[in-house]
């Protein structure tokens, strides 16, 4: 019995020729596809010994059809090449237009070892040209590893002709001028900096052990981002402790020139009370008055309600952790029970089916709620899972937030003239 690796590639004629050149191999058996444009099967040998089989990959790596077939992808190991010269020759050829994961180096099991993804890497080449891609970096604090962020953006832009948008949410503490320039120019989908309010609020909520990351330092970085990219967002988090300052903090950032200020409650806290939500409603009314007085549009206090689309986590959206594991949603990073594959093996279809089945579940507790189709908690079951331990237990903060907006809308309808008169006075 003989056993050697099967790989699936794009441009199989060219790939076979390059592998022959790299490893001193020859084609000893071949079967072409019906239109003679690619290999349906091709065997390579070195000195008469079977070495590698390859075939043209037929399944595009399209998440819309991933439930029909698994991704065709494979790694293979080449060893006992005879000399360091042979290794260097293969490395030079394979790394041309490829990606060097590890350069030639000594490892415990080999004095001359390298890891390379050649330019026929299937996952990279199988993305359909018409697909619009969105790549969003999040954490923790993603800029802790800024070099890899820059590397990923540059590789995707250089290797793919697709329309690609990038985004990031950062707390701003590690930014320098070069990083600000790069992110401001590249992040057209989302460029968010996490600041909770003015100096009093920020220093209360986000204490650090370093004197470097002062409010002035963070605010200075935020203003630099805004100057470079007018779409820079302020991502505020508020809780019951600072809710009385919410309107003041939203207005603070708007008056600094930020057009996109996105406050959101701490949904992980279970300490919210009915009194807190009454305070929230009052603060939203103050923000609404400011919006009307200045002819602004602040989505947080919008009177428009839309039915949210079905959650397609795992199908047209997924998150990847630093180890290459795939999760259906960023809320689930680190929860091993929701790993649905990885960058080496692709999507595990059974796991994907299981996740999609869960997402079809209905929260019967919300059956009588007229706002349920507009509510994040009804749509995003994973928020419920990470905050309440149960997909079908709605997050009470999200639930109350949508109700606060609805109550605010009713107040605005009945008191708009009063508010406008008050503003004029």
Tens digit of pLDDT for each residue in 18-39? Answer: 999 999 999 999 989 989 999 9
Token readout for 81 is 């090449």
What is the fold, at CATH topology level, of the domain defined by 5-125?
2,3-Dihydroxybiphenyl 1,2-Dioxygenase; domain 1 (3.10.180)
Phi then psi for 324, rounded to 5 degrees? 90, 10
Quote the CA–CA distance of 411 and 408 in Å, as a whole number. Answer: 5
- β-strand 190-194 against 233-238: which pairing, if any? parallel
> Which DSSP letter does residue 328 get?
S
pLDDT at 65 over 50: no
List CB contacts of 208: < 8 A, sequence separation 6 or more: 173
Which two tokens mark 246? Answer: 């919410």
> How far apart are the C-alpha atoms of 102 and 71, rounded to whole Å?
24
H/E stretch holding 104: strand 99-107
Q: 133-266: which CATH architecture?
A: Alpha-Beta Barrel (3.20)
CA distance 116 to 197: 47
Mean confidence (pLDDT) of the chain? 85
Mean pLDDT of 55-76: 49
In terms of pLDDT, which residue wins out, 423 or 154? Answer: 154
Query: What pLDDT sits at residue 223?
Result: 98
Write b or e for each residue in 145-180: b if 16 or more Cβ atoms lie within 10 A of its Cβ, otherwise e.
ebeebeeebeebeebeeeebebbbbbbbbebeeebb
Structure confidence at residue 66 (pLDDT): 37
CA 15 to chain centre: 32
Other CB atoms within 10 A of residue 369 CB: 16
Residue among 190, 181, 115, 125 at smallest CA distance from 156:
125
Cis omega (within 30 of 0) for bond into 354: no
Tokens of 152: 């990923």
**For residue 69, what pLDDT is reported?**
35
Report residue 404's pLDDT band, with 50, 70 and 90 as the boundaries: very high
pLDDT of residue 70: 40
Residue pair 260/233 in contact (Cβ under 8 Å)? The answer is yes
SS3 326: strand
Q: Are 78 and 90 in contact (CB under 8 A)?
A: yes
Domain boundaries, the chain: 5-125, 133-266, 295-425
Q: What pLDDT does 162 receive?
A: 83
Q: Which two tokens stand for residue 296?
A: 């602004």
Measured in degrees and rounded to the nearest 5, phi and psi for residue 164 equal: -125, 130
Q: What is the pLDDT of residues 368-384, one digit of tens each?
A: 999 999 999 999 999 99
Peptide bond into 264 cis (omega under 30): no
Distance CA 321, CA 333 (A): 7
Give the mean model confidence (pLDDT) for residues 83-87. Answer: 87
């Amino acid at each position: 019995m003989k056993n050697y690796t099967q790989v699936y590639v794009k441009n199989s004629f060219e790939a076979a020729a390059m592998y022959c050149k790299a490893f001193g191999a020859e084609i000893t058996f071949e079967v072409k596809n019906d239109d003679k444009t690619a290999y349906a099967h091709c065997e390579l040998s070195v000195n008469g010994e079977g070495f590698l089989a390859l075939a043209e990959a037929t399944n595009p790596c399209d998440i819309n059809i991933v439930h029909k077939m698994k991704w065709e992808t494979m790694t293979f190991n080449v060893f006992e090449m005879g000399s360091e010269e042979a290794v260097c020759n293969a490395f030079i050829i394979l790394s041309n237009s490829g990606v060097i994961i590890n350069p030639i180096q000594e490892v415990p099991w080999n004095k001359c070892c390298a890891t390379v993804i050649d330019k026929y890497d299937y996952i990279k080449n199988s993305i359909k040209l018409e697909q619009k891609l969105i790549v969003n970096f999040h954490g923790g604090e993603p800029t802790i590893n800024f070099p890899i962020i820059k590397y990923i953006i540059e590789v995707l832009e250089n290797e793919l002709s697709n329309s690609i948008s990038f985004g990031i949410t950062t707390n701003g503490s590690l930014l320098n001028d070069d990083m600000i320039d790069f992110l401001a120019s590249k992040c057209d989908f989302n460029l968010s900096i996490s600041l909770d309010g003015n100096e009093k609020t920020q220093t209360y909520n986000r204490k650090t052990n370093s004197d470097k990351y002062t409010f002035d330092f963070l605010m200075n970085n935020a203003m630099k981002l805004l100057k470079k990219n007018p779409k820079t967002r302020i991502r505020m988090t508020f809780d019951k402790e600072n809710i009385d300052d919410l309107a003041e903090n939203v207005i603070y950032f708007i008056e600094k020139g930020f057009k996109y200020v996105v406050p959101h409650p701490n949904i992980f806290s279970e300490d919210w009370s009915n009194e807190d939500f009454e305070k929230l409603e009052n603060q939203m009314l103050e923000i609404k008055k400011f919006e009307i007085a200045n002819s602004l549009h602040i989505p947080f206090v919008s009177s428009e309600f839309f039915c949210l689309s079905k959650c397609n986590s795992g199908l047209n959206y997924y998150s990847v952790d630093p180890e290459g594991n795939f999760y259906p949603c960023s809320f689930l990073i680190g929860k091993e029970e929701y790993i649905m594959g990885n960058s080496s093996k692709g999507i595990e279809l059974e796991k994907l089916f299981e996740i999609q089945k869960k997402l079809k579940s209905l929260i019967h507790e919300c059956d009588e709620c007229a706002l349920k189709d507009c509510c994040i908690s009804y749509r995003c079951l994973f928020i419920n899972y990470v905050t309440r331990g149960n997909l079908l237990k709605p997050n009470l903060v999200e639930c109350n937030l949508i109700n606060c907006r609805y109550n605010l809308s009713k107040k605005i309808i009945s008191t708009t003239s009063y508010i406008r008169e008050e503003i004029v006075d």
